[in-house]
Amino acid sequence: MGQPTRDLFSTVQGAMSKKSNATSRTTGDASDDYTAADIEVLEGLEPVRRRPGMYIGGKDEKAMHHLFAEVIDNAMDEAVAGHADAITVHLDAEGFLSVTDNGRGIPVDPHPKYKNKSALEVIMTTLHSGG
């Protein structure tokens, strides 16, 4: 068998060590009320930090490869739509990957729904945003 893959998210400040505020409950205990106050609502990117496997398929090197593929796919989408004609992917000796293209880029003007945030900030900090 191959070597175990390392946890690439272990260095994210406290992200994987946070415990959920929700407590586990046993069934059949009538004295244990379950109310709306027991429902935890995660905002921003906290769901991804808590459970990266749900969003990127894990927290190892394979998951990181999936993230790289997503960035490359975005550049390819620009090219297929006729907005770019060059894509460069560079992996350096230290393992840093960069993807550049000459497409439209990410808009930086204020987002219509969030007047005090740029579209770039919304895209990078809000789940299910994009265009």
* pLDDT score of 89: 96
- Grouped pLDDT means (10 residues each) for the chain, 131 residues: 60 48 55 90 90 89 89 95 97 93 94 94 89 77
Longest dimension (CA), the chain: 65
* pLDDT score of 116: 94
CA distance 103 to 62: 27
CA distance 49 to 55: 10
Structural domain harbouring 83:
1-131
Identify the DSSP state of 118: B
Total domain count for the chain? 1
By CB neighbour count within 10 A (0-12 exposed, 13-18 middle, 19+ buried), where does 59 fall?
buried
Distance of CA 52 to the CA centre of its chain: 7
* pLDDT score of 107: 92
pTM of the model: 0.63
